[in-house]
Structure 1
Amino acid sequence: MEKDTLEQLRYPIGKFELPEAISEKDMDAWIMVLEQLPERLSRMVSPLTDAQLDTPYRPEGWTVRQLVHHISDSHHNSYIRFKWALTEDTPTIKAYDEKAWAELFDTRSAPIQLSLEHLRAVHAKLVYLLKGLSEAQLQRSFVHPDGNQKTTLKENIARYAWHSNHHCAHIENLLKREGW
């Protein structure tokens, strides 16, 4: 497979890019992506068979099942990071090895309904929280231990809206390629 094709399969919507200025319109759009993700994802993957769920979205990539569980795990971690940033002074968050998590027994084999229901609950709580934050709270931040990168909550909202669209595009593209 050509490098450009593999790169397109890995990053179908491009790599995450933070706008220089974040507008209220941006924030509303990103929160809407987060609000709609559980239903959007459920509509895409619920009709799939086990064989389809166990199909990688790209060569040497995760299966659809692993993607669903990854999204749930990742967004759960993100929700906790929001809470830490709101209650602690620029905390250094706990990173996790998402590739190792994706290889765990539950991620490779558990029914996707477990993560779809978890994602629905986490996102309901997350969106409720985000809609109530003040501008000062949105400027609070945390530090990621990989590179000591400081991230504001506004930036994290952007990152997880992108993350939602990024993985949905993986699944949507597979569904189109396979004619499912």
Structure 2
Amino acid sequence: MKSIEKPNSVDPELYFSPFLSIAKGVDLIESLIISKNEVIDLVDALDNSMSDHRYEEGKWTIKQVLKHICDSERVHSYRALRFSKNDKTDLPGYDENEYAKLDNTDNLSLEQIKDEFIAVRNSTIQLFMSLNPESFDYLGKGNKQELTPRIIGWKISGHSSHHCKIIKEKYLQLKHDA
């Protein structure tokens, strides 16, 4: 399979451009595996008693952040699939905070969320491995922004790394200081 390199140019003003810059690796599949392992290692290092911790009033719990990674990846993978088929439908955005309100994390363990993440990420990897290489740069529109499957894939990888960093810096550091 031909390497799926990072996009050559992405408008730095787009909200997700930092996700692309922190995504590790030189090939998308490699990057998705690296960031998958990063999430797994983080969850494995967490104490269950911390899973409902919020670093500040009104912020999501650690479990909600992890569930958000899963939900977001599903939405973006779907967009990548549609765009890879040259679908020109303008796909709507979604409200991550509304999703978090109904995420059912109160009834889920860290282990269940980790298992869900692994299943979602493995599905994402399979999706990108199965795409026609010519389709990685087909343009589509999602949430009023032009995107390609290539951009979306790298965005997915960097997004989970971004949230791992937030958990480590904000949630775990505060827990240490308490």
Q: Does TM-score exceed 0.5, indicating one fold?
A: yes
The answer (yes or no) to whether the contact 2:84–2:131 under 8 Å persists in 1 is no
| Other structure's SS at 1:179 match | helix
Identity %: 23
Summarize deviations over 1:56-110 as a string: whole Å, max 9, x none. 2455321101011111111111222122122352232242221011122503442
CA RMSD of aligned residues (A): 2.9
The answer (yes or no) to whether the contact 2:139–2:147 under 8 Å persists in 1 is yes
Count of residues paired in the alignment: 159
In structure 2, C-alpha distance between the alignment counterparts of 1:94 and 1:83, rounded to whole Å: 15
1:17 maps to what in 2?
Answer: 17
Deviation of 1:18 after TM superposition, in Å, equals: 6.7
In structure 1, C-alpha distance between the alignment counterparts of 2:137 and 2:103, rounded to whole Å: 38
Deviation of 1:134 after TM superposition, in Å, equals: 4.4
Partner of residue 178 from structure 1, selected from 172, 175, 178: 175
1:100 lines up with 2:98 in the alignment:
yes
Unaligned stretches of 5+ in structure 2? 1-14
TM-score normalised by the chain length of structure 2? 0.73
Summarize deviations over 1:23-65 as a string: whole Å, max 9, x none. xx9651x432322333322221234344311112455321101
Counterpart code for 1:67: V
Unaligned stretches of 5+ in structure 1? 1-14
The answer (yes or no) to whether the contact 1:79–1:122 under 8 Å persists in 2 is no
Counterpart code for 1:100: E
The answer (yes or no) to whether the contact 1:92–1:143 under 8 Å persists in 2 is yes
Counterpart code for 2:145: Q
- With 48-57 and 117-126 compared, the bigger mean Cα shift is at 48-57
The answer (yes or no) to whether the contact 1:101–1:107 under 8 Å persists in 2 is no
TM-score normalised by the chain length of structure 1? 0.73
